[in-house]
Structure 1
């Protein structure tokens, strides 16, 4: 039997939702303030995934003006019914809950159907045997929350003709624990005459968990499973290397096997710089209830897998002359600043005065950081720059107040290369090399929570260490807060309109 390693999606990939279409599987995750929104992946084995696009790839679908890094798009759900794909999610600051549809998972996806009278977050869809569609979501206690996190899961029919809710809104569950906090991420399933509602509760941090209830009627009464939670790591101690387990979705294979995708965070020296990632577990049904990884009851770093493996090539180096669905931008990128026409084989990034500290759209092209042991390298030509306040180079971004940069700036007859940390909004230069040329290779080398910054002058062959042994634990949820993981990539800024730099390639290589 083959084995696989968790996580199945490395790096910032929270709130996974999965659906099966025959022997093909599709999965989506949250993107918050990044554009395009909601990546969609395809797999034949639930382990090896290839990104085939992004569902929200037009500004009309994804208003993000002024969104904080952990605002924007929360918790998408992906479902398939009668030849149509449905993705439902929440834009927390711009319109609330909405649905988009497509006949093919690659798109094109429709403009949003904004849902009226649909409070709360984390919506999901369920298609019953009679053809009716039901919305589930989570909302504050309508009588007024009695404590922080006093929310409830609710159900209402969705009219597929009008794409609006119809009928009565019904509370169906408030979680397994007494005074449960943040019952969210609900999904409905039907099996052997029962309706099951599976949720996350306990908050998205260390006490996160997955719980389940069932009913013979879709609108309840839902009876909680006596052995809840069906999955959590909160009882394993903080020294355990995987925390925050929750927000699951079940999927059944054509031959009747069941699996669960969920989010969890790998911990490195006490911190989760990579954010919440997507993990996979086996599910067996016993006495009408799901058991996750029977006999073990937790996520595994390596696990046997019963489906035939269909490997997918993992890309490390990106030819910047071509777009990629893996590329991520902040909020609403001005795509004219990402120029692939002016210099053949290169990407020309036009600078603006906006920086990574601004809740706007600086010129930044990122990838999800996938490992703590890595090299991130690019080759750039900064010869067009004249403004000594311009910066061109690499950045690792947690949010607008926590980041690191390795950037070149014009200085006298050459360029100065600096490594700069941003901690709680305050910049500090932690290393500097002067007298470099304009054609440079810049590299971050990550070794756990320590980072080294290197520069190479391509024309002269000179190589220097800009900084080393720089601690990066603050690029984590535990310090920076929020719900995102780090991204890393290319960055340009300048007060001088017309400044630009050319980039030849970008490589993120996992070294351990």
Structure 2
């Protein structure tokens, strides 16, 4: 029996949504303040996935200027209907600002995708689309109940028809369901399906923390009333404790294979070193069976397991991605992201071929801005990262190097800088809750140097070398829990990246990176 291991998308890939087109499966996830937005993945067997692009890959589609940390793009849904792919999502402007819902379309899921169609009078978050048998299409989302909230974060799921000609909602708004778990709060992430004559409404309840869960209701009529499944929640791990290996399970989407099997993708986290979730929320896969008209998730177990029997589909593995990016390609590979929409041509692969050149911007890693930064997700509990950097600071404000990033106020920077004496130094800065502490430093000759970060669980070590593999330790046993959402708050996972900054000062200087290697240990 062929087995697979969870998570199927390790690292910060939350809120998965999936659709099948023939024998092909496509999946998207949330990206919040990172750009490009909404990675899209392709699979033949539901286990092995390859990224084929991003849905929102142009500044005209996604303007993240001024978007605070953990705001931006929330909970996309992907659907396919009559030759067209649809991706619908929420753009959250700020903690208290507008939630704007929009969708884009494409004939080819690898792109290009259309410019956004912004929906008027579409309150709430986590929109989804449902195409009914009669050709009509409906929008579902969450909102404050019209009669008011009966308890904190009490929400309901609502529905309205979407006119694909005008690209706007039409007709009355209908209240569908306010969840199975009264008082648990945060009813969101709705997905509608029509299966054997019933309309099934799958939602997330309990917030994004350890009380997260998946619940379901059904109705013989689209407008309801919706019958609560007596087995709710159909999936949760909250009874297993905050330090179980897989926690905060929720926000699910269902898919039926071409052979009639049912599977569920959902988010969950892997805490380590205590209840600390550095990688944020990741994508997991779990089987579903149907009994008496209701889904049973992983029959006999009822939870997500690390290792499970694979779907009854021909295995299709994709070429493995390199652990080292030598920056030889003409464009950055899909794993790299920016913080917010990139402004100014601050990076290139052409001025020094075979290198990533980052030009110093005045913006710094400690601001909610678009700094000179490119990064990729942390995907393993233990990992090693190394780079070769050529950088000569020209002033005491100029820095460049590595950053292990949770957000602008929670991070580790392993950077080269200039002392007031004019000498170059590499230093490790821990920034926790906005307060910076220099953990260690080493005077070094400017120019080419090698930097390495090694994480064994929550213990971080930073090494530097002037000659390849001649490592000297700058800091060891630094506390990795600074990079967890449990300390930093928010909804994203940790990134490991490269940066260059004038820290408030304009500069013509730059840093050249010969390679970037990330290896899971």
CA drift at 1:233? 0.3
Of residues 470, 481, 505 in structure 1, which corresponds to 2:515? 505
Residue number in structure 2 paired with 1:258: 262
CA drift at 1:95? 6.3
Residue number in structure 1 paired with 2:124: 120
Of residues 265, 271, 278 in structure 2, which corresponds to 1:273? 278
Of residues 169, 178, 181 in structure 1, which corresponds to 2:182? 178
CA drift at 1:381? 0.7
What does 1:87-236 correspond to in 2, within 5 Å?
Answer: 87-93=87-93, 96-236=100-240
* Contact preservation (8 Å) 2:356, 2:513: yes
1:80 aligns to 2:41 (yes or no): no
Q: CA 1:178 to 1:45, structure 2 compared with 1: closer, same or farther past 3 Å?
A: same
Distance 1:496 1:60 in 2: 27
Of residues 427, 443, 447 in structure 2, which corresponds to 1:434? 443
1:315 aligns to 2:315 (yes or no): no
Give unpaired runs (5+ residues) of structure 1: none
Distance 1:469 1:237 in 2: 27
* Secondary structure at the counterpart of residue 127 of structure 2: strand
Indicate the larger mover: 443-452 or 402-411: 402-411
What does 1:448-467 correspond to in 2, within 5 Å?
Answer: 448-458=457-467, 462-467=470-475
How many aligned residue pairs are there?
A: 509
* Contact preservation (8 Å) 1:379, 1:505: yes
CA drift at 1:335? 4.9
Q: Report Cα offsets for 1:462-494 as digits up to 9, x if no partner.
A: 531110000111211111111111111101101
* Contact preservation (8 Å) 2:99, 2:125: no
* Secondary structure at the counterpart of residue 420 of structure 1: strand
Residue number in structure 1 paired with 2:49: 49
Distance 1:326 1:304 in 2: 28
Of residues 388, 405, 413 in structure 2, which corresponds to 1:405? 413
Give unpaired runs (5+ residues) of structure 2: none
CA drift at 1:414? 5.0
* Contact preservation (8 Å) 2:36, 2:57: yes
Distance 1:118 1:315 in 2: 42
Distance 2:344 2:28 in 1: 24
Residue number in structure 2 paired with 1:446: 455
Residue number in structure 2 paired with 1:482: 490
What does 1:281-296 correspond to in 2, within 5 Å?
Answer: 281-296=286-301
Residue number in structure 2 paired with 1:302: 307
- Please list every run of at least 4 consecutive aligned residues from structure 1 whose deviation after the TM superposition is greater than 4 angstroms: 411-414
* Secondary structure at the counterpart of residue 280 of structure 1: strand
Q: Report Cα offsets for 1:331-374 as digits up to 9, x if no partner.
A: 12125101222111111100111111111100010101101210
Q: Report Cα offsets for 1:143-201 as digits up to 9, x if no partner.
A: 33232211100011111111111111001000001234111000000110000000000
Distance 1:165 1:142 in 2: 18
CA drift at 1:389? 2.2
Q: Report Cα offsets for 1:410-453 as digits up to 9, x if no partner.
A: 34575211111000011111011112341111110000000000
CA drift at 1:58? 1.1
Indicate the larger mover: 173-182 or 150-159: 173-182
Distance 1:311 1:152 in 2: 41
TM-score of the aligned structures, taking structure 1 as reference length: 0.97
Q: What is the root-mean-square deviation of aligned Cα atoms in Å?
A: 1.3
* Contact preservation (8 Å) 2:237, 2:248: yes
Distance 1:395 1:245 in 2: 29
Distance 1:227 1:400 in 2: 42
CA drift at 1:303? 0.7
